[in-house]
Structure 1
Amino acid sequence: MGNRKNKKKKKQKNLERLKSIERNRRIEESIKKESEKYEQEVKLLLLGTGESGKSTFVKQIQIVYKSGFDLAFKNLFKTAIQMNLVLHTKILVMGMEKLGLEFDPENESLAKDFLEIEETICEFGSDELKETIKILWKDPGLKKAFENRSILQVPDTHSYYLDQIDRITKRKYVPTDQDILYCRIPTTGVKVVDFFVNDVPWKIVDVGGQRSERRKWIHQFDDVTMIVYVVAMSEYDQDLYEDETVNRMRESLELFKSTANNEYFEKTACSILYNKFDIFEQKIKKGVSLSKCFDDFEETSDVEVAKEFITNKFTSCATNEHRKVYNYYSCGIDTENIKSVFNYN
């Protein structure tokens, strides 16, 4: 009887030992898999000056490689879109005096009253504010001011929201993916997004591009697989928001030069994403010359010539002869071109 009990206890102990071994094996396999996953993870560092389109790039990744935007995220953008609609329209109205423009006489008092509205507390609960903006937007003077938006620091996408005002001011308005892609909210701090491309884990690190944010960049330099430097092609005739004495593309060019030749990135793959190509094309065809930024540009309305001129300006800055610089061209909401960045190898 006693021997039977001892055998049973011994069998139970052996069984528990085997279970423990199996459990430890599974844990070790899990740790190994996580370690291998970490080793093959691609870390992409997203750099560029403020308003170059980096945040739009990240939002496109959210759409293409993740589940898109949840309702809470969309509601945040709803507020931002509606507030920006008022804010940027006010900037246009105020900028008309600077540009020597005037409203039609019947709209002058309406414009004055509109400037008294505080965009931080504006609500579209009634149609009065919406109708005011619609009337002002039809005024030839405001249309002319928008044509000179680069001088007034008004986003190119503002006309999109003005044309969509009936839809985006509805009480139950929910932003579309395109609405969100067009919305400009400056990046502050560091944002990290994890996602998979063809079962390969990627980590994209987005840091603010404004001058005050760039001191944070160096903390993200470790283990970078690839740099994606975003250039706003259309901003060659615009000045920095932070310093209106400095041309935006000149600033971007100098920043890329210091980034591409940084010792931390000597063996790091580098891609340049030339963003806002559609707006760039429109400007070149309208005769907005690259000479506003580059004295050595020979006048032409040929988009391909202008495109190659800018590309050469940037790629020639990367002096590391052992590293290839990959060039991509995109408009703000072109998700197909974004996909090409992840096939760089």
Structure 2
Amino acid sequence: MGVMVSSQRAERAAKKRSDAIQRTIQSERRRGRQADILLLGSGGDEIVHHFRRDKLAHKGYSETEIEPYKRAIILNTMEYLKSFLDVSTPLDISLSPESSAWRDIIATQLCPGDSKNISSESIKALHDLWHDPAVQLKFIHRTPNSLDKNTLYYLESIDRITDTVYRPNDDDIIYCRSYNTIDEAFPTEGLVYRFLDGRRIKGNKKKWWPCFDGADIIIYGVDLADYDQVLYENGPNKMEENLRAFEEVCNSRWFLPISIILLLNNSGLSPDKLSSSPLKDYFSDYEEGDDCYAASQYFQKKFVSLNKRRTSRDIYSHFVSADDTKILKGVSYSSEVLFVMDIIQRNMIRVVQCFEY
């Protein structure tokens, strides 16, 4: 009798363990249908733009969904204008005392931990600072290709963005960079893509990393044309800073099991740029002159070599070029989007299979 009771208890315990395992498998399978993607570095925009365009073309955005974009767009534009004024150009300018005060108002609005509300004073400061004749002169005489597409788009839209009845249009939403760590999810056939934007975090980014250790993929973007740019006036070189940050991400214990997609945007590299601003002046070990292909390969090797966990981490690198698109099922995809979607889908299949066997 005692043996029978003991056997029944063992069977119940085994079934309980089996049920728990099955629940875990089902949970992981469901999770396998959602890819949590962490955006770092300075790129990765195009894949987010792709999903926003797709949503706008089909379901669209409700007024409730649009409201956070409005705030983010205004803050993006303030940051773009401030960054533009911080960087030296062939025509340096001196702001009037009034314009300097407007600049300080914008800087205060952008301070970490500031109120979520955007003051009417800071919106007026954005409008008036942009229309300062000295700022306009600096904008006209800026270095060719010194502003990325997003920055140029929003700076040229300041009058519309600062209007009292401003409502973001489709392009405003598409090109918006999430402010702080806002995330977006886009359901597609078979997989939900959820983006966590860590590119705008201020201060010490390392303290945020434990919050992102559940990510499935990291997309780290780099603009190769930034090799001769600085983060701010008299500040560190942008490319050196990207290399330092990428090395930290690659070798962080928080991101150890996570694959990294390295997107290297070489569309801004040209023989003219490499001749007028020699890469060797900034990276003394470069020896290939104005050869764009060699410059791209140089940076690819430099970034990938920073990974000290080659046996336990995959890094997928891809060059991003302007107008590099393909048509699939009547939809235009950039090579960047196709590459990223393929890597993500393959990684998510691998995650699910690990729990199936």
Normalising by structure 2, report the TM-score.
0.61
How far apart in 1 are the matches of 2:217 and 2:129?
Answer: 48
1:317 maps onto 2:314 in alignment = no
Q: Any idea what SS the aligned residue of 2:318 has?
A: strand
Question: 2:246 — aligned with what?
Answer: 256
Matched, 1:216 2:208: yes
Local SS of the residue matching 2:204: helix
CA contact (8 A) 2:37 2:193 kept: no
The alpha-carbon deviation at position 79 of structure 1 amounts to 5.0
Larger radius of gyration: 1
Q: Is the 8 A contact 1:62 1:69 kept in 2?
A: no
**Percent identity over paired residues:** 22
Where in structure 2 are the equivalents of 1:1-345 lying within 5 Å? Answer: 35=27, 37-38=29-30, 40-49=32-41, 52-53=42-43, 58=48, 60-64=50-54, 67=59, 69-79=61-71, 81-82=73-74, 89=81, 101=92, 113-117=98-102, 118=105, 120-122=119-121, 133=130, 136=133, 140-144=137-141, 146-147=142-143, 157-165=150-158, 167-168=160-161, 172-184=165-177, 186-188=179-181, 191-208=182-199, 209-222=201-214, 224-240=215-231, 245-262=235-252, 268-275=258-265, 277-281=266-270, 284=273, 287-298=276-287, 300-319=289-308, 320-321=310-311, 324-330=314-320, 336=334, 337-344=336-343, 345=346
- Please tell me the residue identity of whatever aligns with 1:163: E
Unpaired segments of 5 or more residues in structure 2?
A: 1-22, 107-118, 326-332, 347-357
Aligned residue-pair number: 297
Q: Please report the TM-score for the alignment, with normalisation by the length of structure 1.
A: 0.63
Whether the aligned pair in 1 keeps the contact of 2:227 and 2:237 (CA below 8 Å) is: yes
Q: Is the partner of 2:264 in helix, strand or coil?
A: strand
Match of 2:180, SS state, is coil
User: Residues 42 and 293 from structure 1, CA distance in 2 versus in 1: closer, same or farther, beyond 3 angstroms?
Assistant: farther
Match of 1:272, SS?
strand
CA shift at 1:81, angstroms? 4.2
Contact 1:44 1:228 in 2 (8 A): no
**1:343 aligned counterpart, secondary structure:** helix
Please tell me the root mean square deviation across aligned C-alpha atoms, in Å: 4.7
Deviations 1:221-241 (A, max 9, x none): 24x543322223332223345
| Residues 221 and 264, structure 2, Cα contact 8 Å, conserved in 1 | yes
Give distance in 2, aligned partners of 1:206 and 1:84: 14
Structure 1: segments with no counterpart, 5+ residues: 1-30
Q: Distance in 2 between matches of 1:94 and 1:244?
A: 9
Tell me the equivalent position of 1:23. Answer: none
**For 1:94 and 1:313, how far apart are their aligned partners in 2?**
28
Look up the SS of the partner of 1:258 in the other structure: helix
* Inter-partner Cα distance in structure 2 for 1:263 and 1:76: 33
In 1, Cα distance between equivalents of 2:230 and 2:129: 30
TM-fit CA distance, 1:343: 0.7
Q: 1:328 to 1:135 in 2, by over 3 A?
A: same
